Amino acid sequence: MTSVDAKINDLPVRGDHRVVANLVPQGARVLDIGSSDGTLLMLLAKECGVDGRGIELSQDGVNKCVARGLSVIQGDADTDLADYPDKSFDVVVMSQTLQATRDPKGVMDELLRIGHQVIISIPNFAHWRNRLQLLFRGRMPVTKYLPYEWYDTPNIHFCSLRDFVELCKELDATVEKAVALSGRGNEIPVAAPWWVWNIIAEQAVFQLRRP
C-alpha cells in the first residue's frame, strides 16, 4: 500500500467524488476548484494517476491539502481564474462549490475556457424533501447536502438541476453526461426526463464541454 492509499483510506469519500473519479481520464492534468481538505484530489491521484492542482479559499483547507502533499494554493474562484490560460487543463473540477460563489455564471464561463472538459457537482434545491419543508414548515430547508441555517450558510445561490441545465445552454456548454445521485451518494438507476430527476435527486454530477 502506498502512502496515498493509506491517506485516502483514512478519509470518507463522497458519492459525487466517486462519480467524478469515474469521469476523469487516466493521467489527466486536473485543476480542482474548491479543494477543501484535498479528499477529491487524493482520490484522483490514487485512481486516475492525475497531475493535480487545486485552489481553495480557506487557509485552513490549504494547510490540510499541503500537509497531505497536494499542490493546492489559496485562491478565489470569483477573481483568480482569469489568470489561467485558455485550455490549460484537461479537466477542471468543481464539486459542491458553485453555489457558494458570488458569480456562478461568470465562474462557469471561466471553467469552460480553462478546461477541455469541466465536471461540476451541485446539490439540488428542488428535491422533494426541500419542497415539502418549504410547503409545510414554511422555512428554508436543512438537509444532508444543505446542512446550514439560512443565516450561516456559505451557499449564496441555490439552484435546481433544471436551472443548471438552462445555464449550460446560455453558456453554449454541452452536457456530455449527467449522473443523478440520492442522498446517500448512490447513482439513481433511472433513465428519466429532467423534471423527474429534478424531484428525486438530491445532487447531480455534470460532465461539460464547450466547442
Q: What is the mean pLDDT of residues 117-141?
A: 85
Task: Name the superfamily (CATH) of residues 3-124+156-209.
Answer: Vaccinia Virus protein VP39 (3.40.50.150)
Residue 85 near residue 24, CB atoms below 8 Å: no
Provide mean pLDDT across the span 89-104. 95
pLDDT score of 1 more than 70: no
Which residue in 69, 17, 4, 40 sits closest to 181, CA to CA? 17
pLDDT of 11: 61
Annotated domain spans of the chain? 3-124+156-209
| pLDDT per residue as tens digits for the range 146-184 | 777 777 767 778 889 999 999 999 999 999 999 999 877
Per-residue pLDDT tens for 179-209?
999 877 888 887 778 788 888 899 999 999 9
DSSP state of 118: E
Neighbours of 149 (CB within 10 A): 9
Amino acid letter, 69: G
